[in-house]
Amino acid sequence: MSATETQPDRPASLVEAMGTRTEDEQGTSLWAGAAKRLIKNPAAIAGAAIIVLFILVAVFADLLAPYDPAKSQWISEVSTSRVPGPSPGHPLGLDPFGSDLLTQLIFGARQSLLIGVVSTLLGLLGGALLGGLAGAFGGWVDLLVMRVVDILLSIPSLLLAVSVAAVVGRTPTALMVAIAAAQVPIFARLLRGSMLAQRGQDYVLASFSLGLRRRTIVMSHVLPNSLGPVLVQATLTLATAIIEVAALSYLGLGAPDPTVAEWGRMLVKAQERLAQAPQLTLLPGACIAVTALGFTLLGEALREALDPKSRR
Amino acid sequence: MSSPVERPEAAATLADQGTEGGNLLTVRGLKVHYPIRKGLVFDRTVGHVQAVDGVDLDVPRGQTYGLVGESGCGKSTLGRALLQLEDATAGSVDFDGTELTKLSGERLRVLRRRMQMVFQDPMASLDPRQSVQSLLIEPLRVHGLAPADVEEFGPDSPSSHLAKAAAMLEVVGLPRASLAKYPHEFSGGQRQRIGIARAMILNPDLVIADEPVSALDVSVQAQVINLLEHLQDLFGLTYVVIAHDLAVVRHISDRIGVMYLGHIVEEADADTLYAEPMHPYTLALMSAIPVPDPVLEDSRERVLLAGDLPSPANPPAGCRFHTRCPFVQDDCRTVVPELRVLGPRKVACHHAEEIHQQAAVTVIDGTD
Amino acid sequence: MNAPQSSSDPLLSIRNLDVTFGRGDKETRAVDGVSYDVPAGTIVGVVGESGSGKSVTSLAVMGLLPQRGCRTSGEILFDGVNLLGRSDAEMSRIRGKEIAMVFQDPMSSLNPVVPVGTQVTEVLRTHEKVSAAEARDRAGDLLKRCGIPDPLRRLKEYPHQLSGGMRQRAMIAIALACKPRLLICDEPTTALDVTIQAQVLELLAELVSDLGTAMIMITHDLGVVAGLCDHVNVMYAGRIVESAPRRELFANPQHRYTQGLLHSIPRLDHPRGAPLQPIPGTPRDTVAWDKACAFAPRCRYVTEECVTPEIDLDELSAGHQVRCVHPATRAETIADGSAATAQEATA
């Protein structure tokens, strides 16, 4: 094999001077490399910490919340002119219906996160399906799918959500479907664009020239390489989804059961008491903002970590 | 040296040479035209880019055919069309007795085992998310080991695939530990070795290398050129090497075709082409290449071409080179020159003989 | 060709230039004690591969290195005045006016949304007090001189409407607009086809000699250097390893890297069939200069003596400096570095 290359015999002192550059025996895949960069990024850690915190709160709401959220135990202490603020038994005070505010916020996390996550997953699924179809087949399939997506995209997302809610009715499912429907075109366009860009790459041509089947090329090469931007978008969309849940609830399209706590609806109810008890609006508002911030931080960090330019 | 024109018998030897051992690849009248589309909703074809416009090639088994030309001359498109990675608009590509242009999808896919490609940019042509092991084994999973390899590595199983992959890595000069690594962890030259290993792992008969070294550092290019030559000896491969660098093509090729705007304008064996270029474009191309020898550089006379390459969407009438040719005459503007046999070469120029006589060009002769 | 040490001070004199990127563990020294002169009216070639520091040196001269994450030391004397440490405002008065640069990729160094003519007149009007009409006339003349046909029409066109060769000509027109005293060309023809490269090189040589401009030609192509430059510096891993007048360098290359480069490229002026002798390894296989010769890991002639921090640029003959423990002898060079002599030398 020496015809290809002969390495010069390096004197021992030179080998020593070159140092033992710790060459990993095990290679680092792009995903693993991205994960490493993600862990080193303080923004990602902060974002993830916020998200994990809220998820824990949502999951263990029953254990964490001091009171039962469904009962208005202190209705007598609330009047049209007064909502009691923090007191020894109620660290954040009461809400306008005589429930403990902290309990409501804790259970609100469950509802907001659940709807936000499920709707984003639905949107991602639908969008990936449409975008993947368009990106994989191209031609008239692409043309057809993308025109449908264009139509969806031309409808303002809130209007779309309101229409879906109007058709399906006021249930949490309707809320999820409504928000998901607004997200479908975003994901569809993103994945399609990403796939089209990847399809133009030489490695796809190389795969064809090796005699790989079109299905294999699309599923195991084009798709995995196109997912990065979609994942980033999903994380960022989660932030908007949570805000949208709140917005739709605010518009009165949220879950019909008034005893189920939800941040958006808490905002609505507190609105008329803005002057006398500002904490009623500020606290749920802060919860929405911080959760959204968490997802945004993580999303941006993910974008950075997946960026090929940040390699090496 | 007597003028090549006075040796009609040379034409006969030329023809014989082609059939000796048989041609692995025979191309006739190959055209690749891309439609230029315009329109918002419904695409409308407003013209065609004539990337490859009527090319004949004969590539003898076990030899290297070099295609040179500048960007936009259609050499890469031609290379891809040979492998049916581009649809041919017209013409035929005969690969070892099989007409490729009429082959159905699945039969073509199976046949791809025997014809492989080495790409210019090894980073772009390897899936960045695949480990070297996966990159090398994937083609084996699709096509299975070649019969000779089944004998050497045992039954066509995942473990013998791995053994073959490791053996192939060694052949291209990379350590076995590379199997677990990913393309971005290698230098450019090493990546190109991986690309070459992947093309060779299926034991192909024909390998088309499209600018295999132009993306590499100068000091590494020679390694890859030597590797390609070594593999050709080892496996008895037939190469089509596409490059813009005449020095590289001359070094590696037995026969060379010079392309200009979708046509082959001159074809000859490597020594003849460089000793006596007959087409004015070949002359210009050769005289334009800088040579790392100041004495020669100072004494060289260059055939400088005026202007740029015309658009292949709207090629000039007559000889396609006439807009830049320093020796242009009236008939060049109207009559398309045929590729005609002239001694040991083929040339597509009406006035090749006169130009050859009058051109006071210092042709670099490698024999001094 | 006269050696850079002429009686008067050279136009540009780089003295002990260090450029370091990053900090701590990630610190990399891109340029390591580089010194060279560019006398007025001469063309100096800088040859090297990616990572050799050839481009970083020229960016330092232009004051175009990033402000953050990059430290420089040494001196860059232009007309006797140190350019290092000048403010950006001061540098921008010099850039374009006194020193101009042509980059490899004309598409990305031209502004895509501004007509070519405006980009030429912009430079003229920034550095000289000329009226719009006069600037336009001069821009037209410049384009014409740079071999752009129909210059008045071209002035109104955008970069994407020009071919690669025309764009590079436009870049050269912009660079030469204010008749700079030094022109730095960083791989100006690498992105171009050979026939266009020949045109552009011819044009550059002609313009530079007409205007009396000095030029630094940065390239990886030894052929380009052979036909154009008066003096050549070969760089490897941030240092100059060999520096010689053009004819001397090619007739008598003494550094093993220079020699290796000349033997590893297929050459039109050599008989066909001669096997190539590649330089083993990759530019990544290196060692820090403060421990050993950085080329040692790839060198066929490496010995224990190469592992020393003090490998100086020795002047072996007039104007010919080499940084090598085992430089090639003249006899070896004449034997054309055949594999046989190479083996004997090491034995």
CA A254, A259, A263, A268: dihedral to nearest 10 degrees?
70
Among B4, B2, B1, residue whose Cα is nearest residue B266: B4
C-alpha–C-alpha distance, residues C11 and A60, integer Å: 75
Beta strands in B199-337 (DSSP E): 206-210, 238-243, 255-260, 263-269
C-alpha–C-alpha distance, residues A128 and A191, integer Å: 6
Chain B residues 139-178 within an 8 A CB cutoff of chain A: 139, 142-143, 170-173, 177
Q: How far apart are the first and last CA of chain C?
A: 37
CA closest to A208 among chain B residues: B85
Res C346: pLDDT: 40
For B292, the closest of C195, C202, C226 (CB atoms) is C226
Q: What is the mean pLDDT of residues B35-50?
A: 75
Question: Across-strand partners of C36?
Answer: C14
What's C54's DSSP letter? H
Q: What is the mean pLDDT of residues A261-288?
A: 80
Which residues in B51-90 are b (16+ Cβ under 10 Å) and which e? bbbbbbbbbbbbbbbbbbbbebbbbbbbbbbbbbbbebbe
Residue the block writes with tokens 């230039």: C17
Beta strands in C58-102 (DSSP E): 70-78, 81-82, 99-102
| Interface membership of B292 toward C (CB under 8 Å) | yes
C-alpha–C-alpha distance, residues C206 and C83, integer Å: 28
Chain B residues 245-284 within an 8 A CB cutoff of chain C: 245-248, 250-252, 270-271, 274, 284
Q: How far is CA A76 from CA A54, A84, B10, B242, C320, in A?
A: 31, 11, 114, 88, 99
CATH number of A36-64+99-196+226-310: 1.10.3720.10
The answer to whether C282 touches C211, Cβ cutoff 8 Å, is no
Q: How far is A68 from chain B (nearest CA, A)?
A: 50
- Lowest-pLDDT choice from A10-14, A104-108, B135-139, C167-171: A10-14
For A212, the closest of B131, B142, B182 (CB atoms) is B142
For C291, the closest of A9, A10, A17 (CB atoms) is A17
C-alpha–C-alpha distance, residues C127 and C123, integer Å: 6
Number of independent structural domains in chain C: 2
- Lowest-pLDDT choice from B111-125, B258-272, C258-272: C258-272
Q: Is C32 strand, coil or helix? A: strand
Mutate to test the interface with A, among C287, C300, C325 (most CBs of A within 10 A): C287
| Interface membership of A20 toward C (CB under 8 Å) | no
Among A289, A281, A295, A243, residue whose Cα is nearest residue A104: A281
CA closest to C285 among chain B residues: B187
Q: What is the mean pLDDT of residues B164-188?
A: 92
Q: Which two tokens stand for residue B289?
A: 């290449």
CATH number of B25-279: 3.40.50.300
The answer to whether C335 touches C345, Cβ cutoff 8 Å, is no
Res A21: pLDDT: 58
Confidence of residue A261 (pLDDT cuts 50, 70, 90): confident
Q: Which two tokens stand for residue A311?
A: 């390699």
Half-sphere exposure of B199 (CA within 13 A, CB side): 34
Beta strands in chain B (DSSP E): 23-38, 44-60, 64-68, 90-95, 98-99, 115-118, 206-210, 238-243, 255-260, 263-269, 340-342, 345-347
B14 or B209, which is more confident: B209
Q: How far is CA C195 from CA B93, B284, B309, B367, in A?
A: 31, 7, 10, 24
Helices B218-235 and C256-264, axial angle in degrees (round to 10) = 50
C-alpha–C-alpha distance, residues B126 and C229, integer Å: 39
Q: Is residue C24 part of a domain?
A: no
Burial of A23 (0-12, 13-18, 19+ CB in 10 A): exposed
Res A86: pLDDT: 74
Beta strands in A100-259 (DSSP E): none
Q: Per-residue DSSP letters for B283-295?
A: HHHHHHS--S-HH
Sign of CA dihedral C186, C192, C198, C200: negative
- Lowest-pLDDT choice from A276-280, B239-243, C301-305: A276-280
C-alpha–C-alpha distance, residues A257 and A172, integer Å: 10
Q: How far apart are the first and last CA of chain B?
A: 15
In one letter, which amino acid is B111? Answer: L
Q: Is residue C35 part of a domain?
A: no
Helices C132-145 and C164-176, axial angle in degrees (round to 10) = 130
Q: What is the mean pLDDT of residues A77-97?
A: 73
Mutate to test the interface with C, among B181, B308, B324 (most CBs of C within 10 A): B308
Res B13: pLDDT: 42
Question: Across-strand partners of C109?
Answer: none
Q: Using H for helix, E for strand and C for coil, what is the string for B175-214?
A: CHHHHHCCHHHCCHHHHHHHHHHHHHCCCCCEEEEECCCC
State pLDDT tens for residues B101-110. Answer: 988 888 999 9
C231 or A256, which is more confident: C231
Domain residue ranges in chain B? 25-279
Helices B218-235 and B188-200, axial angle in degrees (round to 10) = 20
C-alpha–C-alpha distance, residues B285 and B65, integer Å: 18
Among C311, C286, C307, C259, residue whose Cα is nearest residue C53: C286
ipTM of the complex as predicted: 0.83
Helices (H) and strands (E) in chain A, counts: 13, 0
Res B345: pLDDT: 92
- Lowest-pLDDT choice from A57-66, B186-195, B234-243, C37-46: A57-66
Residue the block writes with tokens 């570095």: C337
Q: Is residue C138 part of a domain?
A: yes
The answer to whether C14 touches C235, Cβ cutoff 8 Å, is no
State pLDDT tens for residues B87-97. Answer: 999 999 999 99
Res B99: pLDDT: 93
Burial of B46 (0-12, 13-18, 19+ CB in 10 A): exposed
Q: Is residue C247 part of a domain?
A: no
What's A221's DSSP letter? I
Long-range CB contact pairs, B108-111, < 8 A, 24+: B108/B84, B109/A211, B109/A213, B110/A211, B110/B143, B111/A211
Answer yes or no: is pLDDT of B276 > 80.
yes
Residue C335 is part of which domain span? 254-346
Res A190: pLDDT: 93
In one letter, which amino acid is C205? Answer: A
Residue the block writes with tokens 């409808």: A155
Q: Which two tokens stand for residue A86?
A: 């923090």
Res A308: pLDDT: 63
The answer to whether A291 touches A54, Cβ cutoff 8 Å, is yes
C-alpha–C-alpha distance, residues A112 and A58, integer Å: 9
C-alpha–C-alpha distance, residues C231 and C21, integer Å: 29
Last residue of a domain, one of C144, C177, C210: C177
Largest Cα–Cα separation, chain A: 94
Q: Which two tokens stand for residue B251?
A: 């070094």
Helices A101-137 and A263-271, axial angle in degrees (round to 10) = 130
CA closest to A24 among chain B residues: B181
Res B15: pLDDT: 43
Among B186, B205, B208, residue whose Cα is nearest residue B196: B208
A200 or C43, which is more confident: C43
Answer yes or no: is pLDDT of A73 > 80.
no
C-alpha–C-alpha distance, residues A119 and A115, integer Å: 6
pLDDT tens by residue, chain C, 347 residues? 444 444 467 999 999 999 999 887 778 889 999 999 999 989 999 999 888 999 999 999 998 888 888 899 999 999 989 998 888 888 888 988 899 999 888 777 888 899 988 998 988 888 888 898 999 899 988 888 888 888 888 888 898 888 888 888 899 999 988 889 999 999 998 888 888 888 889 889 988 888 899 999 999 999 999 989 999 999 999 999 999 999 999 999 999 999 999 988 888 888 887 788 889 888 888 888 888 899 999 998 888 888 888 888 888 888 899 999 888 876 565 555 444 333 433 43
Q: How far is A134 from chain B (nearest CA, A)?
A: 17
Confidence of residue A311 (pLDDT cuts 50, 70, 90): low
Question: Across-strand partners of B264?
Answer: B259
| Interface membership of B182 toward A (CB under 8 Å) | yes
Q: Over chain B, what is the mean pLDDT?
A: 87
C-alpha–C-alpha distance, residues B192 and A289, integer Å: 50
State pLDDT tens for residues A95-136. Answer: 777 778 888 888 888 888 888 889 899 999 999 999 999 988
Residue B295 with chain C: CB contacts under 8 Å? 247, 250-251
Q: Is residue C262 part of a domain?
A: yes
Mutate to test the interface with A, among B110, B185, B202 (most CBs of A within 10 A): B185
Q: Is residue C100 part of a domain?
A: no
Query: The pTM is what?
Result: 0.84
What's C10's DSSP letter? P
Q: How far is C303 from chain A (nearest CA, A)?
A: 6
